[in-house]
Amino acid sequence: MKSIADLRQDYAKSSLEVANVLPDPVAQFEKWFQEALQAGVPEPNAMNLATVNEQGQPSARIVLLKGVEAKQFLFFTNYQSQKGLLLERNPACALTFFWPELERQVRIEGITQRLDAQTSEAYFQSRPRGSQIGAWASPQSSVIDSRTILEERVQQLEKRFDGETVLPKPHQWGGYAVMPSMIEFWQGRPSRLHDRIVYTRIDGQWKIHRLAP
C-alpha cells in the first residue's frame, strides 16, 4: 500500500498574475466558474462551508452554491440544522471551492444574512418535487433512531401533498447570502510555488495583493 505521505501531484496547467485578474473579485470568480463549467468539472458549485461556534470550534461541510447575486454568494439550507443554528449565533463564515481539473482553488471569507422569504420560496419551488418533500421530511442535524422514520414521514407528506406539484416552503428552510470581505484565488504551479492572488475589502474598496505560496 502506498504511503499517504508519498502522494504527490505537481501542478503546471496555468499561471495567475495580478496584472491579468479583473479588478472585482466576484467578477473574477464568475470568470473562473464559467471556465470550470466549460472544462466539465463535476459539480463546480460544490463548496466547503465553514462555521464556528461560541467556543471557537469550527465545523465544515459541503454545500452547493446556488447563485451569485448583488456581489453575494447564495446557498440554501434548513435554518434549524447545525450550520443554520451556528450562523444565527455567529454569521461569519468561510467558503472554499476546489477544482482539481483546473488546479484551482478559491477561498472566500465573509458575513451571512438570511435571504428574504420570497426569494427562498421561489428557489424552493423551483426544486424537484422529491427535494421539496425531502426538505419537509428531514429534521436536519437532529438525532433519529433509523432511516425508517424519514421514509414514513415522506409517505405521510406524499399523502398530504397529493396532487400538488409545487409545495409551500417550510418555515424552517431558506437561503443565505454571503457578503465577502476576502477572496483568494489559488492556481497550482510546479514545485509547490503556487500563485496566490488575494482581494481584501478595505473601506469599501478591493485591494489586490500577491501572497507567497
Binding positions are 8-11, 61-66, 76-77, 83, 105, 123, 127, 131, 140-141, 186, 192-194, 196
Q: What are the binding residues for substrate?
A: 8-11, 66, 123, 127, 131, 192-194
* 130 Cβ neighbours under 8 A, 6+ residues apart: none
* Contact between 24 and 200 (Cβ < 8 Å): no
Q: What are the binding residues for FMN?
A: 61-66, 76-77, 83, 105, 140-141, 186, 196
Whats the size of the chain, residue-wise?
A: 213
* Contact between 86 and 156 (Cβ < 8 Å): no
Question: In Å, how far are 18, 35, 63, 84, 211 from 176, measured between CA atoms?
Answer: 31, 25, 12, 9, 30
Three-state SS at 150: helix
Q: How many CB atoms lie within 10 A of CB 46?
A: 15
- The cell for 91 is 454569521
How far apart, in whole angstroms, are the C-alpha atoms of residue 92 and residue 90? Answer: 6
189: annotated active-site residue:
no
List, in sequence order, every residue forming a beta bridge with 104; answer none if it has no partner.
Answer: 99, 187
Instruction: Identify the active-site residue in 89, 160, 192, 210.
Output: 192
Per-residue burial over 105-125, b = 16 or more CB atoms within 10 Å of its CB, e = otherwise: bbbbbbebebbeeebbbebbe
Catalytic positions, written as ranges: 192
